[in-house]
Structure 1
Amino acid sequence: MRYMMLVKMDPSKAPAAGPSEELMTEVGKLVDDMAKAGVLLDTAGLRPLEEGAVLRLSGGKQTVLDRSFTEPTEIVGGYCIVQVTSQEEAVEWASRFLSVHGDAWEMTSEIRRIEEPA
């Protein structure tokens, strides 16, 4: 089964200095562990919201939203796709990812099973 783990956070609660070198090293080790375990399919952090776009469909009309005038309370900062045997295993990997961040970060990981083609 494939699962996507979406890492979400309130940008106002992120450390001002961003991720430390130590954190990036620990995340790299975890990614290596996932690759060695054969569960990692893809992972990446996402560029800032200001560099992206939001397209909304409502009433058959599409609108590109101007993100410069909104203060997001939660953003998706990255994702990871894993191939595991159960949701519990996906939760374990997501828990390890959150744990390496320590006390300086406040975030959530939404874990969703990917719909497989029929």
Structure 2
Amino acid sequence: MRFMIIVKASADTEAGVMPEEPLLAAMARYHEELAKAGVLLDANGLRPSAQGWRVRHSDGRTTLIDGPFTETRELIAGYTLIQTRSREEALEWTRRFPAPHGPGVDAEIEVRQLFELDDFAPSPSIERFRDMTVDGGG
């Protein structure tokens, strides 16, 4: 089972303020533990939305919208992707996630399970996706 731990953005992350060393150290320790346990798949921070864009599909048209985006609480500052044997194991790991904006700073992470190809009914399209994946899409 794969889960994405989503770190919500803050005014500081959107301003491009880099984390200070104590927070970087806490995040490094946490991610080292994930790696040692064999559950870490990927993790990274995202640059501010001012450096990004969105593509909107509406009324049959495609529109490109440059950042920044104003709703900070809806933006993502970073993520960690883990693979565990159960939802409970993922929950235990996420309880240990360091305060993403530092101790004493209000923050929120969201955790969402990823769909696996086996969650979908068999079809030619699903087989095409399975052929594209490195691990067979399990």
TM-score (structure 2 length as normaliser): 0.72
Counterpart in the other structure of 2:8: 8
Cα distance in 2 for partners of 1:12, 1:72 equals: 13
Cα distance in 2 for partners of 1:63, 1:87 equals: 38
Cα distance in 2 for partners of 1:29, 1:13 equals: 21
Which runs of 5 or more structure 2 residues have no equivalent in the other structure?
119-138
Which runs of 5 or more structure 1 residues have no equivalent in the other structure?
none
Higher relative contact order (CA 8 A, sep 6+): 1
Counterpart in the other structure of 2:58: 58
Q: Secondary structure at the match of 2:117?
A: coil
The Cα shift of 1:18 comes to 4.2
CA RMSD of aligned residues (A): 2.4
Structure that is richer in strand per residue: 1
* Bigger Rg, which one: 2
Q: Measured at CA, do residues 11 and 41 of structure 1 come closer, stay the same or move farther in structure 2, by a change above 3 Å?
A: same
Residue identity in the other structure for 2:28: G
Q: Measured at CA, do residues 112 and 71 of structure 1 come closer, stay the same or move farther in structure 2, by a change above 3 Å?
A: same
The 5 A counterparts of 1:78-117 are 78-99=78-99, 101-103=102-104, 105-117=105-117
Q: Measured at CA, do residues 17 and 50 of structure 1 come closer, stay the same or move farther in structure 2, by a change above 3 Å?
A: closer
Cα distance in 2 for partners of 1:28, 1:61 equals: 43
TM-score (structure 1 length as normaliser): 0.83
